Amino acid sequence: MSSLKIICPNGHLGFAPLKTGSFHLGVDSQPDFIAADSGSDDIGPVPLGSDTCASPKAWQRQDLEEMLLASRRIGVPMMIGSAGDTGSNSRVDMYVEMIREIAAQHGLAPFKLGWFYSEVDKETVRGKIRAGSEITGLDARPALTEEELDATDRIVAMAGVHPFLKLLEEGCDVIIGGRSSDSAIFAAAALHKGYPEAQSYYLGKVLECASFCAEPYGAKETVMGEITADHVEVTAMAPEQRCTVASVAGHAMYERSNPFHEFVAGGMLDMTDCHYEQVSDKTTRVTGMEFSAAPEFRVKLEGSGKVGERFVGMAGIRDPYTIANVDAVIDWARQQTIERFGPDGWELHYNVFGRNGIMGDMEPLKDQPGHELCVVVQGVAPTREMAEEVCMTGTRQMFYARLPEVKGTAGGVSFIFDEVLPGSPAYRWTLNHTMAVDDPLELFPTHTAMVEGAVQ
């Protein structure tokens, strides 16, 4: 075929429901594939470590239902990567079960379902370390040690195009993927149809976040990418949105330390010499992309390890003198916690909103706090009971802080409520590394089954 069209209705399936209006406009444009990514490490390490979802299952089921019904109605493949936010094995199984349920509920005609897993056993990684194959850190992290591996609860590998290609070659109509590189989901569809690697990976890069490549801002709207042998075009489906030279180029450059390079399993997309052209009111064409194969096949690993149980407290400050001395107030509360529990075995984290609660030390205006502050306190400890008490001590003692020149008894800090609230257990990223493999499918076992779609 001279060109291939893919629509993407959601840049993070399940994080918020897709907008059905632009999605159905996209479906009506007769795409060859419907695809979306469901994962992100922007959600932090908790979902991966605790093997949970970051969003309600109802939102994820809604998007899967919209996409499945549309793909079966027009007879094109549907592809999902990083199922259930993390792509862990249980999230893949959850999506596979949802697909079966939706098919049965709507009495869909039989179709072939494919899925692959991406969890990596810790002993597999340990074996690589002991064999002398370095697990290399990304973003200035040191090489992985066995000690850090032991502190890890769950590991997923990030798939490239390879398991998607294998399942497409086996004739699957619907594919549910484990943890996947965002762009690989879409690139696999184009590569399967014989398009060049450079254009295919750029197609994936521009579609991965759906309408984030369009303007004006409107999340969860559908965009359509069209690939030929020498260019990629992207078109906004929402009536009020346009894909412009600025919006498409800007999206291509975000989220990367080097805005021109996109690394995937097996190579790198180079966007340094891309040329952007407005070819219609809603469509931008891109040419000049290049793809370089990597000299060694390495796969990215993500791992998460539990730190402890967590409670959250909040305190408000309106008094100007207390605002000016908020660090001393926090130090006082922390010292009271040390006197109660000793210096080790627990953690207190303070975010001072109204000063630098979001950016921390990178905040350029942290010496210009607002006239009122909200201090969010996180207490972390091995048990829920201890975490609750640590958090309550670290929050409530702010009320009793002794500051110089204060003659009153208390009252520099107020509380929205007296209690502290249970939070999710605290986790941290333990792995953001790459590992060499001999076979691109080594970490991604694939499975297929026919879904009969009988009405329940």
Note whether 268 and 379 are same-domain residues.
no
Same domain for 335 and 210: no
pLDDT at 64 over 90: yes
254 with 336, same domain?
no
What is the rounded average pLDDT for all residues in the chain?
Answer: 95
Please say if the pLDDT value at position 1 is more than 80.
Answer: no
Question: Could you tell me if 59 and 207 lie in one domain?
Answer: yes
For 74, list phi and psi in degrees, rounded to 5: -100, 0
Question: Are the C-beta atoms of residues 39 and 302 closer than 8 Å to each other?
Answer: no
Cross-strand bridge partners of residue 422: 311
- 390 neighbors 381 (Cβ within 8 angstroms): yes
Locus of tokens 């149809």:
193
In percent, the amount of the chain with pLDDT more than 70 equals: 99
Cβ–Cβ under 8 Å, residues 62 and 23: no
Burial of 93 (0-12, 13-18, 19+ CB in 10 A): middle
76 lies in some domain? yes
Domain assignment of residue 327, given as a range: 306-430
Regarding whether 358 and 228 lie in a shared domain, the answer is no
Q: What is the CATH number of the domain that holds 368?
A: 3.30.70.600
Q: For residue 318, count other CB atoms closer than 10 A to its CB.
A: 12
pLDDT for 27-44, tens place per residue?
999 999 999 999 888 899
The β-bridge partners of 428 are 305
| Segment 20-25 long-range contacts (CB within 8 Å, at least 24 positions apart) | 20/66, 21/238, 22/211, 22/221, 22/222, 22/236, 22/237, 22/238, 22/239, 22/241, 23/66, 23/70, 23/222, 23/237, 24/70, 25/222, 25/237, 25/238, 25/239
Total domain count, the chain:
2
Tokens of 124: 């597999």
Question: Same structural domain for residues 321 and 289?
Answer: no
**In the prediction, which pLDDT does 456 show?**
45
Statement: residue 312 has pLDDT above 60 = yes
Residue 129 lies in a domain: no
Reading the block at residue 377, the tokens are: 């306190």
Q: What is the rounded distance in angstroms from the CA atom of residue 431 to the CA atom of residue 302?
A: 5
DSSP states of 265-305: TTEEEE-TT-EEEEEETTEEEEE--EEEE-SS-EEEEEEEE
Does 128 map to a domain?
Answer: no
Judge if 90 and 220 occupy the same domain. Answer: yes
Bridge partner residues of 159 (DSSP):
180
125 lies in some domain: no
Q: Are residues 76 and 197 in the same domain?
A: yes
Residue 405 has pLDDT above 90, yes or no: no
Residue 253: which pLDDT band, with cuts at 50, 70 and 90? confident
- The answer on 44 and 190 residing in a single domain is yes
What is the average per-residue pLDDT within 65-69?
A: 97
pLDDT-derived band at 305 (thresholds 50, 70, 90) equals very high
Is the domain of 264 the same as that of 337? no
Q: Is residue 290, in this structure, part of any structural domain at all?
A: yes
Whether 141 maps to a domain, the answer reads no
**For residue 316, is it within any domain?**
yes
User: Is 265 in the same domain as 318?
Assistant: no
Burial degree of 324 (CB within 10 A; 0-12, 13-18, 19+): exposed
Both tokens of 109, joined, read: 């005609």
What φ, ψ does residue 130 adopt, rounded to 5°? -70, -20
pLDDT digits (tens, 9 = 90+) for 123-172: 999 999 999 999 999 989 999 999 999 999 999 999 999 999 999 999 99
Name the band, by pLDDT with cuts 50, 70 and 90, for residue 7: very high
Same-domain check for residues 445 and 380: no
Mean pLDDT confidence for 64-87: 97
Examine residue 75 and state whether it is found in any structural domain, yes or no: yes
Give the Å distances, CA to CA, from 234 to 140, 205, 227. 35, 11, 9
Structure tokens at 166: 């294998």
The residues near 40 (Cβ < 8 Å, ≥ 6 apart) are: 12, 15, 82, 85
Instruction: Please report which confidence band the pLDDT of residue 454 belongs to, taking 50, 70 and 90 as the band edges.
Output: low
